[in-house]
Amino acid sequence: MRKFQIFFTLLIVIVFGISSTISSQSLGEFEVDETAFYAMTKQMSQFFSRFNNEEDANGKKYLPTDPNYRNNENRRHLLPLLFDQENPRTASTLRDFFIEDLTKNDTNNFIKFTGGRWYAEVSSTFEYQGKQVPVVLFLTIEKERLGSKWVLTNIYFQGFNKFFPTGDITEREKHFLHPMSHELDFMNIYKVFSDPAIVEYYASHSFQPDYLSLFFYEVKLGRMKFKSVDTMKFHVFQMPNWYFEISYFNRKGNNTGWLISNLMYVKENEKGPLIKFYEP
């Protein structure tokens, strides 16, 4: 038995020794491709490190004292590798403009894990009223004492949204309580509840449905039960005048893992309405 263990250990050393000397080599029916392995952005933490140029192309971390650490000149060569190169929107002049804007010598455009304004979008399956339904969960990082944690900020569930349609402004204006209703002890308040489908028309102009509270309510009553996480992606608003989306790509080649899948030029004063979708 001991001889077998020694032989097996030597075999592993030989195999890994051979595979480390070349980037791609066939071993029986298997092919070891280190180039693809190192090129793949395997985790979001690695995406952050590469985006900020805090590690080299082989995944080796730079010390903060290293001149390569967060070096913008190096970033110009590394950032294109973090885009989905099969998508025209993320492999065009817009991408080049984005990289040029981020790597100017006088800029400090680096992603911060606890910097806020980046969100996880988790597409999940729940059981609701006896059916399997899709629910999208939105989360963000929140600081807590000496650390941080993910917290839910909003959800999207079609079953909730259909109860609060936007509605036509003219139609909404037809439904109101007269300003002198208080002089009649609000005898006309029955109008508010006569048609439940439009009860929100009687709310103030600032009213916004709180879908997260509705979601928690249904979960607490046991009517909405979690089943699975299906897909996930991230939305980043930290870079001045830019928004980008990060998705996971599982495919052959070097352009795999967590990559930028959408890119938009958005002025800072125009980001508010977009961010409200993730964090009302």
Contacts of 153 (CB under 8 A, 6+ apart): 119, 138, 139, 140, 212, 278, 279, 280
In a domain, 103, yes or no: yes
pLDDT higher than 60, residue 73: yes
pLDDT higher than 80, residue 45: yes
Looking at the fold, whether 122 and 226 belong to one and the same domain comes out as yes
CA-closest candidate to residue 229, choices 101, 131, 130, 137: 137
Looking at the fold, whether 153 and 216 belong to one and the same domain comes out as yes
Average pLDDT, the chain: 85
Looking at the fold, whether 155 and 219 belong to one and the same domain comes out as yes
167-214 pLDDT, tens per residue? 677 777 888 898 999 888 999 999 999 998 889 888 888 888 899 999
CA-CA distances (angstroms) from residue 163 to 121, 167, 269? 23, 11, 31
pLDDT at res. 17: 43
pLDDT higher than 80, residue 230: yes
**Number of alpha helices (DSSP H) and beta strands (DSSP E) in the chain:** 10, 8
**How many domains, in total, are found in the chain?**
3
- pTM for this model (two decimals): 0.80
pLDDT band, residue 2 (cuts 50/70/90): very low
pLDDT higher than 90, residue 229: yes
In a domain, 244, yes or no: yes
Single out the residue in 182, 201, 220 at which a domain terminates: 201
218, 159 Cβ separation under 8 angstroms: no
In a domain, 217, yes or no: yes
Q: What mean pLDDT do residues 93-115 have? A: 90
In a domain, 243, yes or no: yes
Q: Which residues pair with 24 in a beta bridge?
A: 33
Q: Which long-range contacts (CB under 8 A, 24 or more apart) does 126-135 make?
A: 126/224, 126/225, 126/226, 126/227, 127/224, 127/225, 127/227, 128/159, 128/218, 128/223, 128/224, 128/225, 129/223, 132/227, 133/157, 133/158, 133/159, 134/158, 134/230, 135/215, 135/224
Which tops the pLDDT comparison, 9 or 69?
Answer: 69
212, 224 Cβ separation under 8 angstroms: no
In a domain, 24, yes or no: no
Looking at the fold, whether 125 and 222 belong to one and the same domain comes out as yes
CA-CA distances (angstroms) from residue 159 to 124, 132, 164, 165, 173? 14, 12, 10, 11, 26
Single out the residue in 201, 222, 253 at which a domain terminates: 201
Looking at the fold, whether 55 and 75 belong to one and the same domain comes out as yes
The total number of residues shown for the chain amounts to 280
Structural domain range at position 96: 35-114+237-267
Looking at the fold, whether 127 and 226 belong to one and the same domain comes out as yes
134-172 pLDDT, tens per residue? 999 999 999 988 899 999 999 999 999 888 877 677 777
pLDDT at res. 280: 85
Looking at the fold, whether 42 and 78 belong to one and the same domain comes out as yes
49, 41 Cβ separation under 8 angstroms: no
Looking at the fold, whether 123 and 259 belong to one and the same domain comes out as no
Looking at the fold, whether 110 and 126 belong to one and the same domain comes out as no
